[in-house]
Structure 1
Amino acid sequence: MNFIRIISLSLLVVLISSCKEKSESSEPINTKPNTIVLISINAPAKYVHYMEQDSLGKTPVDSSGPYATLKSNGFTYLDYMNNVQTWIPKPNVSDTITIECYSENLELSTNNFFTAIKQTFLVKNGDTVVFNFKDNVPKANITNRNVNDIEINYNNFRHQKLFQNKYSSHYLVFGNMFLNANISEYPQKSLDYYDQAQKDYEREMALLDSLHSTNSISEVNYSYRKDALDILMESHKKLKNIKAWLAQHQSLQNNETIEPPIVFDLSQTDSLLKFSFFREYLNNISQYDLELINETNTSSGSAYIDFRIRFDSIIQDKRFNQTAKNYLLFNSYQGIGDNFKVKDKELYFKKLQESTTNRAKLNEVVEEYKLDFDTSDQLILTNIQNDTTTFASVLKRNQGKWLYVDFWASWCAPCLRTMPASNQLRKELDTENIAFIYLALNDTKVNWKKAVQTYQIPENQNYFIENSNVSKVIEDLHIKTIPHYLIYNPNGELVNGYANRPGKGAKEQLQKLISDL
């Protein structure tokens, strides 16, 4: 990024202050707010992207093939406390939200399966924005003023102009692993697509220059789109094989020929944080080149950095002001919550309390994840009638019976696909001394109760886990992925911590245990 572009963006961001939902309570602000109205028309219930479907609007030949899906894909923006907020429109109806705004502009961002770059809309204070959906992709229309369609819907324009609405080279840099059956080809293909992405980067920069020269996009959008594109290219360079290739390439070339990394003026953080691409930039530079921790479970695997080291490093990093630290520390704590033990969650929550000035976000995290560490030694459960108990009490009440315990969730597709087989298993073992226990993990009560009815899951031994994020019981049982099944004997002893699924050996497993007793 050259000096001129830093200045132009800085002039833009000083205009962009904070926005918040009208219904949200806050301390009075002297500046009188205006409002931005967002209207969604028939948003999809699910955003399904079939892998064989290589372009928008193409009808998939086999809808049972591999696919990616988002249950919801809302519009994200930064509120007046520098907290990321997401509005998820109600599906298949007209839905509206009014946002109070204390600034000139507001950025809205959403995801697009095909592009690897967020689809963003820069709107002005006082705007009414109507979103219509085609092929699960939103198109914006400003109703209160005349706006060039290319400017407000630039992401749709570039995708058609440069990539004919097919997978972009930027997506294929990493996304080719999902499309190629031979995973061993991924490293080389990733490099090939990176080479193409570099060429497409130059094509898009030229396209932006042309649009700017013909006044098809404003100075604000011109600078904004170029910076977003720069950060996209930087994200490619973070991929392990591309990073290694670039390092090798640099050792073979004159250093002056190697393009330096994009650098933002971090003194402008308070203004730049409003942009999703700058938040991505902060996340990138606060990874500290930490190696991935690879974890393999019985049915899946994951890879993540040591977010504890990252958290401590952010606190000590003098490049970041308090605004940046507030954002990054919450981001890092989420990684700790998703991947590390309860003792780490408790320790780093105390550090978070000491290090952040964003008390509203802190309270939000406590409420959302139910961070009551006083209950860590128990697994707190609620039944359909909203009565509270513990897993230990459930085991005690059912002593004398074999227990088949199913950890599941309403959002877990494999869990729900297995429920018909689970119902059949109960019928087939109806004469045996077996009780079936269902425990909803990391779910919401509304969706849990709906799924219980929809999939005809028995209510009498069905429970919602209240403290899954802080319970050491979950750790001791090694519940890392769901569905997960346990078998207890009539003495209340765990005899199989990784039991077979219904329809995939569970019946035979249970019958053998019973007969061998």
Structure 2
Amino acid sequence: MIAPPVNTTDTADDLKKVIRFNINNPKLLTIGFSEFYIAPGDSVNMNFETLIQTKFDYKDSTHINSGNVFFTLYNGHPQPQIDAYRANFSAALNHIGTRNGLDIFLSEKHIHQLADSYARLILKEFPNIKADEKLSNEIKKYCYINVTRFLIYDLCLSYKKPTKNPEIKNNIATNVNRIITGYHSQKDLFSSPDYWMPYSRAYFFYKDALKLDYNGIIEKFDHCNDTVKQYIILRCFRDGITGMQKVNGSFSYALEKFTYPPFKEAALKYLSDPNLGSQISRNLNSTLRNTEIFDTNDKKLQYLDVFKTSTQSYILFDFCGTWCKPCLDEIAQYSQNQHLDNSAKVKPIWLFFENDKTKWIAVIEKYHLKKENCFIILDKGFINEFAKSFNWAQEFPHHFLFTKEGEMIDEKAASLNEFNEDELKTNR
């Protein structure tokens, strides 16, 4: 979830917007995390409702007034059966504890079975789509793409759990390779707007879970066609990862790697960044250290003060916000056991990113968070500076593990609910 802009729309009262389309042929429309099939003459009626009766939080209940609803992936109309199905196969995957069990669950045959079941639920939910054979086929493609994406995402999370058996972790990596190979063999998927999602998830698995460098990541996609390889190279460039040397002070010669016009255009932007190829920092720079924050008593501090006052060797940050429903869900889960509150090794810190100070104290008190572990930041420049320094995509919630000296240990740490302090070193 991405933080709202500084000038956030006030949604204390429900808002309604109508978008009408002037198109000659049917189109696929993406709004946020929702996707729609739009026919000529259709319009979209967008209702924004307040989330937890606060002025700035909303949920998107977008729907189509007329024409065929393609369907919504997240937010939008309640789809309990579809959501439950996604949650069920994710939970089933996470409970598999053997290599053989993983191999069976992640086989190409079973992935197609999962996708077919997913498609049947959607077509049942939207019978008007079922009557359209062409659109039904698009739904089936969509479901295969997204089941593949979900599985790789879940495997990445599972791999990164500190308690995961090393043998199982190796098997997870093998299965991710096999899933991508099988996915790439499906030649009829390229026209789908979601085609790149599984490749994106695999890229993050290799980068963030396996910690591969540029050459290691590229090698994982050797079996793919040239367009996919260009996409992966582009992702590397976007994240400042390159295996090349500058020529005459730049990487512009690398443009020859791109023949697909949209990728070449994006590459030109990334390659013009003077910081491309520089090593991502593992320590806080002076701008971050000196950023102004406030504690629950409204005392002005610097971000560095969180580190200076820690008696624990490690600090686990939860970057969150009262406007972020996933953040609140995680905080609610943590409040049920609060297992890090008295840790001698790691100090949990909730850093609230807000537009003002009106709501965060109420959240802290509602979920019984330790007030001395909670801070608020109003400086929007901190987000950009932190993202640039630590390759953060600015999504919320996000968790970072630092040493008390200010060195980044894990830029994608487990959530405070799942974090296992027993895996931390004690000799710091």
- Whose strand fraction is larger, Structure 1's or Structure 2's? 1
Q: Which has the larger radius of gyration?
A: 1
* Pair in the same fold by TM > 0.5: no
TM-score (norm 1): 0.39
TM-score (norm 2): 0.45
